[in-house]
Amino acid sequence: MELYNYLKSLHLIFVITWFAGLFYIVRLFVYQIEAADKTSPEKEILQKQYKIMAYRLWYIITWPSAVLASIFAFWMLFFTPMGNAWLQMPWMHVKLGFVFVLYLYHLKCQQIFSQLQRDEVKYTTNFMRLWNEVATIILFAVVFLVILKNAVNWIYGVIGIFLFSITIMLGFKFYKRIRERNSKQ
């Protein structure tokens, strides 16, 4: 049991740093896209700085955190008696589904990161601001599942996540209007 608690602690630490990296990298994507619209020499200076910041964040914090969080999770689930018990629970299957979506999100961020490192801007800042909320929704879903351990009421959870997503979208639209109004003044 003591080993399990150490593994769980390490897993949580690296999940937190993984999410921190995911949240911040998308903000850096927003800044990189905004920098592409600047004039010289400001454009080149900002792009160079944001590329360095994104590179360091992505490869020194985010990727290692994702790998270590995964290693400790697999170790807990497959090599401890407690983990084997969790794998029998329906809520864990739902949680692992969300974790799979998190891996897909991470890989899409990798693709966007690579494009921006090559100065290929394929998305708008508005898209990136919304994209940043996907990680938030995944985080909410996983935390509630882990704490409540109830996949039987997953329908209520899906409805709740859907309503939460709508709230985020409405908040985003409201924020966008404020920004547009302030830029006209």
Domain locations in the chain? 2-184
Residue 76, pLDDT score: 93
Assigned token pair, 133? 């909320």
Q: Which residue is listed with tokens 């509630």?
A: 144
In this prediction, residue 155 carries a pLDDT of 65
C-alpha atoms less than 13 angstroms from C-alpha of 115 in its C-beta half-sphere:
14
Highest mean pLDDT among 3-12, 90-99, 149-158: 3-12
Q: What pLDDT sits at residue 160?
A: 77
Mean pLDDT of 121-148: 89
Please list, in sequence order, all residues whose beta carbon lies within 8 angstroms of the beta carbon of residue 32, skipping any fewer than 6 positions away. 47, 50, 51, 54, 116, 121
Enter the tokens of residue 57. 């964040």
Determine whether the annotation assigns residue 106 to a binding site.
Answer: no
11 in a labelled binding site: yes
Model confidence band, residue 176 (pLDDT cutoffs 50, 70, 90): confident
What does the mean pLDDT of the chain come to?
Answer: 91
| CB atoms inside a 10 Å sphere around CB 72 | 20
Separation CA 23–CA 45 (nearest Å): 23
Could you tell me the two tokens for 123? 């998305």
Confidence check: pLDDT of 152 > 60: no
Signed CA dihedral, 82, 87, 88, 92: sign only: positive
Share of the chain above pLDDT 90, in %: 62
Higher pLDDT, 33 or 89: 33
Q: Are the beta carbons of 73 and 11 closer than 8 angstroms?
A: yes
pLDDT at 118 over 70: yes
